[in-house]
Amino acid sequence: MCLILIACKSHPAYKLILAANRDEYYDRPTAPVAFWENAPGVLAGRDLRAQGTWLGITIKGKIAAITNYRDPASNTPHAPSRGKLVSNYLSGQQSPADYIDELEPTAGHYNGFNLIVGEKDGLYWYSNRGNVIRNLRPGVYGLSNHLLNTAWPKVIRGKEAFKKLLLDEKDPDPDALFAILADREIPDDESLPDTGVELEWERILSPIFITSPTYGTRSSTVLLIDIKDHVTFIERTFNSDPGRSSSIKHEFLIES
């Protein structure tokens, strides 16, 4: 994932509202969201190269998502897959806090990441580039490829639109959330972060929705959990043609 917008207990009708874009190379093989055969309670897309995922939920209400921390100078080519951090949590039995505690001693083996793990009533954020565990209190959060709420243009723009929608809508329309995720505005050069890539790539990576010949927003996801524990999970997949998309929607009630 390269942008995750989260509203924790910040809307009268929903415990959680999450809107996220996954950015990846178009040639990386991917399976769309589905319940996994080898872990039937897990609902997520799948990276078919490393067999992990970027965002998912279980029928018991466990939730996890990940973004990369952009710092190419520190990347190790043979580091373990960060997507496994999501799938291992979703398919395991540990609480969010216990999972992070167990991960911490080996977190440095991975390239930079931001990990969101939690359950239907609360989320945690942890990064191996900040070494801080944060329990997400009620509020609105934005996460891209730096630390939580880093004031990158896409994070600022996404959070502002997200907050306005939550204030204006008694029952937020998924299409309105997807419209936020579809924003392709490129900020001015002076507003761009310096993350160690060439200026041309900083420009390409700066919008909420990314397009380029080889890399871009592969999918957008909206996840809603209402106060009665009803889950709505919608994924729109774009792949190499951002003008065409396909959608998959799953709804279920979290098992107690």
- Return the domain boundaries, the chain: 3-253
Q: How far apart are CA 153 and CA 57, in angstroms?
A: 28
Q: Determine the pLDDT at residue 222.
A: 98
Give every CB contact of residue 234 below 8 A, 6+ residues apart in sequence. 174, 178, 221, 222, 223, 247, 248, 249, 250
How would residue 103 be classed by pLDDT, with cut points 50, 70 and 90?
A: very high
pLDDT over 90 at 72, yes or no: yes
Q: Determine the pLDDT at residue 169.
A: 82
Is the Cβ–Cβ distance between 130 and 107 less than 8 Å?
no
**Sheet strand arrangement including 55-58:** 30-35, 42-47, 55-58, 63-68, 113-119, 122-127, 132-136
Q: How many helices (H) and strands (E) does the chain have?
A: 5, 13
Paired sense of beta strands 113-119 and 122-127, if any: antiparallel
Is the Cβ–Cβ distance between 87 and 56 less than 8 Å?
yes
How would residue 244 be classed by pLDDT, with cut points 50, 70 and 90?
A: confident
Q: Determine the pLDDT at residue 215.
A: 96
Is the model more confident about 169 or about 212? 212
Burial class (CB within 10 angstroms; exposed 0-12, middle 13-18, buried 19+) of 144? buried
Q: Determine the pLDDT at residue 240.
A: 73
Check whether domain 3-253 has CATH 2.40.30.40, yes or no: no
Is the Cβ–Cβ distance between 117 and 126 less than 8 Å?
yes
Q: How far apart are CA 9 and CA 234, in angstroms?
A: 20
**Sheet strand arrangement including 246-253:** 139-143, 3-11, 14-25, 215-226, 230-237, 246-253
Q: Determine the pLDDT at residue 131.
A: 78
Q: How far apart are CA 249 and CA 230, in angstroms?
A: 13
pLDDT in tens, 168-202: 888 999 999 999 999 999 999 999 999 999 999 99
pLDDT over 80 at 17, yes or no: yes
How many CB atoms sit inside 10 A of residue 135's CB?
A: 12
- Span 144-163, average pLDDT: 98
Joined together, the tokens standing for residue 22 give: 């996954």
Q: How far apart are CA 142 and CA 139, in angstroms?
A: 10
Q: What is the mean pLDDT of the chain?
A: 96
Q: Determine the pLDDT at residue 174.
A: 97
Joined together, the tokens standing for residue 213 give: 């010949």
Helix ranges (H only) for 62-152 are 83-91, 96-103
